[in-house]
Amino acid sequence: MTGNITFTMIKPDGVEANNIGPILAMINKAGFKILAMKYMRLTQEQAGSFYAVHKERPFYGELTGYMSSGPIVAAILTKDNAVTDYRKLIGATDPTKADEGTIRKLFAKSIAANAVHGSDSDENAIIESNFFFSQLERF
């Protein structure tokens, strides 16, 4: 069975370019509801633990530095098949390879500064949601 939540962040480039509103509008238009949301800035250490799965990748330092470089919007989204449908809505990691009309095609600056995060599995959606939100912060 596929789950009905996914976790997203609007990354520092998306915030800096005033794209919070347009990105949230696309999320709502695609049928996702917002269960939880916060506007905050990660420390490099927090970004490092969120992305710990990428610790051995060559871009880990760049990624954690970048993700702590400015504020982000974190949110839990709900919809049937949330993980799969949200990955379709955001498009490929590298915006030059993202399909037309996807969030990353429209808003990403580069492979690192790619506008949004989206969970890659139901299991990670739960882990990532728990990293940012308590039960009291979900509606």
| Site residues for Mg ion per CB under 5 A | 120
Binding range to ligand IDP, per CB under 6 A, among 15-23, 35-43, 59-67, 76-84: 59-67
Give the CA distances from residue 139 to residues 2, 51, 65, 82, 94, in Å, rounded to whole numbers and listed in that order. 21, 26, 31, 17, 33
Tokens of 47: 């970004």
Please pick, among 68, 117, 118, 119, the residue that the annotation labels catalytic: 117
The answer to the question of residue 112 lying near ligand IDP (CB under 6 A) is yes
Q: Which of ligand IDP, Mg ion, none lies near 104, with the C-beta cut-off 5 to 8 A by kind?
A: none
Closer residue to ligand IDP in complex, CB, 28/110 = 110
Closer residue to Mg ion in complex, CB, 85/120 = 120
Pick from 101, 122, 104: nearest CA to 113: 104
Question: ∠ at Cα 20 (15, 27), nearest 5°?
Answer: 135
Pick from 49, 67, 56: nearest CA to 11: 67
The answer to the question of residue 129 lying near ligand IDP (CB under 6 A) is no
Q: Is there a catalytic annotation at residue 117?
A: yes
Q: Which residues bind ligand IDP (CB under 6 A)?
A: 54, 59, 62-63, 93, 111-112, 114, 117, 120
